[in-house]
A and B are shown apart, each in its own frame.
Chain A
Amino acid sequence: MLALRVRDLVKRHSAAPGAAPVEIRLDALDLEAGAQLALRGPSGCGKTTLLHLIAGILRPDSGEIHLAGELLPAAAERARDRLRARHLGYVFQTFNLLQGFTVRENLQLAQRFAGREGTEADAHRERLLAELGLAPFAHRLPARLSHGQQQRVALARALVNRPALVLADEPTASLDDAHAAAALSLLREVCVSHGAALLLATHDERALRAFPAVRDLKPLAPAA
């Protein structure tokens, strides 16, 4: 089964208020379950916008996106929220952890929004925390963790609902070589071990070298 299927995706937007509108286009993209793909493109080419479109955070102007076989409806925000919660994990460049909640609670909230609660969900969460070496810090607030620990929390939160697809936005930016390699290795290994496909957007050559498949994004074109 395909974890992700994109067809004829078009999104027009302005990078800044008053700026000339540009167009993001992706004619076709298929990602098999458990597969890993890197999207390459320079800064400002629309990588993050594309990931937001796939996550259903933004609505495309046209085109279709299927997550784990289900169509991401452009109009129905509620349905997109539900699909995002159930089938998608998102690792942001700056982690975007909820600062008012502990490590464990960050994961629990993601589970709650996906409707995955109960004994089995609790056990899965605790296993994941242990697997990523976070169990001793589970009661801490994110601000009290190191950069690397916060990245692992972001990864754990992305995987806690057993998603079909994990999106990662520039996960190695601002990391030195050693830490970038370790972060990337962990991200890829954990996605493999949990059976999640991985779509990574980056312009970091160190990350791109580690990926078996790389897809170049088209440069932004002025909107018609």
Chain B
Amino acid sequence: MIPRLPAALLLAARGLRQHAASSWCAIALLALAAGGALAALALRDASARAFAAGTGPFDAVLGARGSPLQIVLASLYHLEAAPGLVPEAEVEKLSAHPAVAHAIPLVLGDNHEGWRLVGTSPGLFAPELWQGQPAAPRLLPGGRLFDPARQEIVAGSQAAAALGLRLGDHLTPTHGLDYAAETAEDHAHEEEFTVVGLLKPTGTPVDRVLWTPVHALQHLDGHDPAHAHDLSAVLIRFRPEAGAAGFMLAQNYNSPGGALTLAWPVAAHVAALFERFAWADRLMGVAAGFAAALSALCVVIALQTSLAQRRRDWAILRAIGARAHTLGAAILTEALLLGAAGAAGAAVVAGGLQSLVAWQIRVRTGVLLAPVPPAELLATGAGALLLTCALAALWPAWTALRSPVAEHLAPPA
């Protein structure tokens, strides 16, 4: 029995069913084209937001003279090597500055099976530093912070999971930031570190680090004793009432001939990183336009193919009383059904792609991206796809309406 649907909807649904192969092809192409474009747009926004949030509570980073972006990437995202060394005395100097609330030392240069050991002070985990931050590092029950005088480790969640670390485990650092299994033995230090704390996941680069006391790394066997009091960077949080202190400090540190660079404000440097990829934004815009054009073409081809095969059916329907506008509405409805199915598929494709990319970014940087595109973007994408499909259906609908009924009633020769 025919369900009591509007005639246009009924004819459209049956048309899609009757030409299932071409319908599914069109839906798959729509889903891939629109899903790819949606994922690209969503990832651009999600990554910019997530990386901006990855700077944590810090306003500035002091490093050796070099690129501020390199200093930020090395000390906050743990992605690069630090450009050089910072005298340890700078921590005391900065701590004494009236505008500075927190000055946290960092020492880089060692790893364990590719996971960075970063020397720091217990102050990095101070609750007052992370007040108001959504991703504060917190210890899992049973653990404790490292003793600054011992070779102990607090492991970030991602590093701990990858290395299978438990409280009480021992590990040996390898010199350098990069790990190669075949040469690891040559670069291995003799000291053994004990895991005394495991951090809860934060969704930030903190998760990818094995945190250890500054002095434990500075005095490792094999390290140059001449640099035993040097740091890689100092993370700085200003007091809320500091005003233009960041600007003043940057002026001082960054003056020509200086040995140090103050990367301030860190958020601006992260934003600058994304501005470097403005060309990629434009490329994504072109890709989205291409996807829209491809979607429209899919619908036109699917409808034209289906109509070419169904010209006689349309003529028969007209001959038994179907009105021309009913058939026009059926073609439009068919396009909208294709669009709706394509939009549903696009949401799945976009979700799948974003999850995959988010997982890769999480693995490589520790930055946690939203695993699915925002609902507003999906809704906008679905609306755009439906509009594209409706516009693409206008020509096939018009040609169907103009098609002479009497000519197509005769069986094909």
Render A92-116 as a binary contact track against B, CB cut-off 8 A, 1 for contact: 1010111111001100111011100
Distance between A164 CB and nearest chain B CB, rounded to angstroms: 14
- How many A-B pairs with Cβ below 8 Å? 77
Pair B15/A100 contact, Cβ less than 8 Å: yes
Pair B319/A96 contact, Cβ less than 8 Å: yes
- Give CA–CA (A25, B406) in the complex, Å: 18
A86 — which chain B residues lie within 8 A by C-beta? Answer: 321
Of the 9-residue stretches A77-85, A176-184, A207-215, which lies at the interface with chain B? Answer: A77-85
Pair A109/B409 contact, Cβ less than 8 Å: no
A117 — which chain B residues lie within 8 A by C-beta? Answer: 4
Q: How many residues of chain B get a CB closer than 8 Å to chain A's CBs? A: 27
Out of B15, B17, B320, B410, name the residue touching A110 (CB < 8 Å).
B320
Residue in chain B with minimal CB distance to A55:
B319
> Which residues 125-163 of B have a CB within 8 angstroms of A?
none
> Which residues 124-178 of A have a CB within 8 angstroms of B?
157, 161
Pair A84/B321 contact, Cβ less than 8 Å: yes
- Give CA–CA (A86, B315) in the complex, Å: 17
Distance between A111 CB and nearest chain B CB, rounded to angstroms: 9
> Which residues 1-40 of B have a CB within 8 angstroms of A?
1-2, 4, 7, 14-15, 17-18
Pair B322/A113 contact, Cβ less than 8 Å: yes
- Give CA–CA (A97, B411) in the complex, Å: 11
Residue in chain A with minimal CB distance to B15:
A100
B321 — which chain A residues lie within 8 A by C-beta? Answer: 81-82, 84-86, 110, 113-114, 161
Out of B312, B315, B324, B410, name the residue touching A81 (CB < 8 Å).
B324
User: Is B166 on the interface with A (CB-CB < 8 A)?
Assistant: no
Q: How many residues of chain A get a CB closer than 8 Å to chain B's CBs? A: 32
Q: Chain A: interface secondary structure? A: helix
- Give CA–CA (A77, B324) in the complex, Å: 8
User: Is B317 on the interface with A (CB-CB < 8 A)?
Assistant: yes
B17 — which chain A residues lie within 8 A by C-beta? Answer: 100
A5 — which chain B residues lie within 8 A by C-beta? Answer: none
- Give CA–CA (A219, B405) in the complex, Å: 25
Residue in chain B with minimal CB distance to A108:
B2
Out of A82, A104, A109, name the residue touching B317 (CB < 8 Å).
A109
A110 — which chain B residues lie within 8 A by C-beta? Answer: 320-321
- Give CA–CA (A92, B312) in the complex, Å: 13
Out of B4, B312, B326, B409, name the residue touching A57 (CB < 8 Å).
B409
- Give CA–CA (A57, B17) in the complex, Å: 28
User: Is B239 on the interface with A (CB-CB < 8 A)?
Assistant: no
Pair A101/B320 contact, Cβ less than 8 Å: no
- Give CA–CA (A207, B338) in the complex, Å: 48
Distance between B214 CB and nearest chain A CB, rounded to angstroms: 76
Pair B409/A92 contact, Cβ less than 8 Å: yes
Pair B313/A99 contact, Cβ less than 8 Å: yes
Pair A85/B320 contact, Cβ less than 8 Å: yes
A94 — which chain B residues lie within 8 A by C-beta? Answer: 410-411
**Given A78-B323, A100-B17 in contact, is the A105-B1 Cβ separation under 8 Å?**
yes
A96 — which chain B residues lie within 8 A by C-beta? Answer: 312, 315-316, 319, 409
B324 — which chain A residues lie within 8 A by C-beta? Answer: 77-78, 81
Pair A90/B313 contact, Cβ less than 8 Å: no
Pair A81/B406 contact, Cβ less than 8 Å: no
Most buried by A among B7, B17, B322: B322
Pair B1/A101 contact, Cβ less than 8 Å: no
Distance between B37 CB and nearest chain A CB, rounded to angstroms: 34
**Given A52-B406, A77-B324, A90-B320 in contact, is the A101-B14 Cβ separation under 8 Å?**
yes
- Give CA–CA (A210, B326) in the complex, Å: 40
User: Is B318 on the interface with A (CB-CB < 8 A)?
Assistant: yes
Distance between B191 CB and nearest chain A CB, rounded to angstroms: 78
Pair B2/A105 contact, Cβ less than 8 Å: yes
Pair A100/B411 contact, Cβ less than 8 Å: no
User: Is A71 on the interface with B (CB-CB < 8 A)?
Assistant: no
User: Is A58 on the interface with B (CB-CB < 8 A)?
Assistant: yes
**Given A96-B312, A98-B313 in contact, is the A113-B2 Cβ separation under 8 Å?**
no
Distance between A39 CB and nearest chain B CB, rounded to angstroms: 17
Most buried by A among B17, B316, B317, B325: B316
Pair B14/A57 contact, Cβ less than 8 Å: no
B313 — which chain A residues lie within 8 A by C-beta? Answer: 98-100
Most buried by A among B1, B15, B312, B321: B321
Pair A112/B409 contact, Cβ less than 8 Å: no
Most buried by A among B15, B319, B323, B410: B319
Render B303-340 as a binary contact track against A, CB cut-off 8 A, 1 for contact: 00000000011011111111111100000000000000
- Give CA–CA (A135, B319) in the complex, Å: 24
- Give CA–CA (A57, B14) in the complex, Å: 24
| Interface, chain B (partner A; CB < 8 A) | 1-2, 4, 7, 14-15, 17-18, 312-313, 315-326, 405-406, 409-411
4 other contacts beyond A77-B324, A92-B319, with CB at 8 A cut-off?
A85-B320, A105-B1, A109-B2, A109-B7
| Interface, chain A (partner B; CB < 8 A) | 49, 52, 55, 57-58, 77-78, 81-82, 84-86, 90, 92, 94, 96-101, 104-105, 108-110, 112-114, 117, 157, 161
Which 9 pairs between the two chains have the least Cβ-Cβ distance? A85-B321, A113-B321, A100-B18, A96-B316, A108-B2, A81-B323, A110-B320, A94-B411, A52-B406
Please list 15 pairs of residues, one from A and one from B, whose beta carbons are closer than 8 Å in the complex, sorted by A's number.
Answer: A52-B406, A52-B409, A58-B406, A82-B323, A85-B320, A85-B321, A94-B411, A96-B316, A96-B319, A96-B409, A97-B316, A108-B1, A109-B7, A110-B321, A112-B7
